[in-house]
Amino acid sequence: MKIAFLSPFYPFRGGIAQFSDSLYLALSKTNDVKAFTFTRQYAELFFPGKTQYVSESDVNRNIPVERVLDSINPITYYKTAKAILKFKPDLVLISYWMPFFAAAFGKIAGMLKKEGVKIIGILHNVIAHEKRFGDVSLTKYFFNKCDGFLILNKSSEKDLLNLLPSAKYIVHPHPLYDHYGSKIDTAEARRKLNIPQDRKVILFFGFIRDYKGLDLLIESMKDLNDDYLLLIAGEVYGNFKKYDELIDRLNLRDKIKLEVRYIPETEIPIFFSASDVCVLPYRSATQSGIIGIAYHFDLPVIVTSVGGLAEIVEENKTGLIVNKASSVQLSQAIKKYFEERLKEKFIPNIKEYKTKHTWFNFAEDILSLTKTLK
């Protein structure tokens, strides 16, 4: 099958680009796949981070990609559709995660459908994390141009059907990343990060955004003794000032290690190898690739029961699930995890989980969905 895939790819940074690279490679094993991406993903005015691009030390998986779409230039919508049609695909996959791109994706999908091409939307989010006026109309515009959808968790199912009751879709959990290299010795990883060997290390990893609840995790540290250390690793979207002020107000400087910067892929093994548990204290979520990275390094997780996070955590087997996004419940779960020595118990279950949630299985489900589209 000939498959065109429109999505962020390398050299754009972030989880969706990494997701797209992995899916491209899985699909390419049995199909003719061509990747299409942006010349400009966001105008700088609308981008909250420092840069949209990877660092020189990030892993390049050498995926051939045609850069054609400028998200804010309608002329390129036509150019993108023309470039995809030149490839003569049987199927087009489009990654969707926020309404900002709905106008571009909807226009492109509409032009492709007129030529008889089937469109599947891969929905990383159905509803945007930070809601804005007009989101619903824009999202519906794109969704109505699609023939089918792949959603990454059951919690998104209701949102999709509220917007498009007739939607044809499948649900498949986020596959686990497998390209970050091997775990390194814990003692060595802690030496590299200048972390004492005897601390109980709690990892918060990834882009720092309001909905991810980092403030709750920081607050939870006041209920934990000095044996615990919170390692915060990731680039902040916005300003870290409010977190700094919270750390000082609660007198937690000695219990928190800050690496507030973009973490290139070559450094990821260090952070996960140095940690005893990865905590996702999110206030809202659909799913998270961070859990997949943690599992890759055999690291258990503690997550809040929001969105689809709990769907990829087997309670008391691969991690713990906190019912409410609160600092008290987070500290209680963290204490339980360490006091009951759950890491050693959870690691064999994580290894078994990894054998089931592969990119190959994910690609096969997409092909199965394609066969049902008329």
Residues 6+ apart with CB under 8 A from 274: 186, 189, 190, 192, 193, 195, 201, 203, 231
Q: Are 229 and 123 contained in the same domain?
A: no
Alpha carbons within 13 A on the beta-carbon side of 364: 6
Task: Say if 181 falls within a structural domain.
Answer: no
Return the pLDDT at 106.
97
Hunting for tokens 């690793």 — which residue is that?
Answer: 233
Q: Are 160 and 254 contained in the same domain?
A: no
Q: Are 341 and 246 contained in the same domain?
A: yes
* Cα-Cα-Cα-Cα dihedral sign, residues 271, 312, 26, 23: negative
Segments of the chain with pLDDT less than 50: none
Q: Are 347 and 364 contained in the same domain?
A: no
Contact 120, 105 (CB under 8 A): no
Contact 150, 119 (CB under 8 A): no
Return the pLDDT at 45.
63
Return the pLDDT at 55.
65
Range of the domain at 367: 2-175+358-372
Q: Are 157 and 234 contained in the same domain?
A: no
Alpha carbons within 13 A on the beta-carbon side of 340: 13
Burial of 158 (0-12, 13-18, 19+ CB in 10 A): exposed
Return the pLDDT at 109.
97
Q: Give the CA dihedral 334, 338, 343, 344, nearest 10 degrees.
A: -160
CATH number, position 81 = 3.40.50.11930
Q: How many domains does the chain have?
A: 2
pTM (two decimals): 0.77
Return the pLDDT at 51.
67
Q: Are 7 and 135 contained in the same domain?
A: yes
Task: Say if 72 falls within a structural domain.
Answer: yes
Q: Are 13 and 147 contained in the same domain?
A: yes
Burial of 25 (0-12, 13-18, 19+ CB in 10 A): middle
Q: Are 161 and 206 contained in the same domain?
A: no
Q: Are 74 and 109 contained in the same domain?
A: yes
Q: Are 161 and 34 contained in the same domain?
A: yes
Which residue stretches of the chain are H helix? Answer: 15-28, 74-87, 102-114, 135-143, 155-163, 186-193, 214-220, 241-249, 268-274, 289-296, 327-339, 342-356, 359-372
Task: Say if 27 falls within a structural domain.
Answer: yes
Task: Say if 60 falls within a structural domain.
Answer: yes
What tens digit of pLDDT does each residue of 45-86 get?
656 666 676 666 677 788 999 999 999 999 999 999 999 999
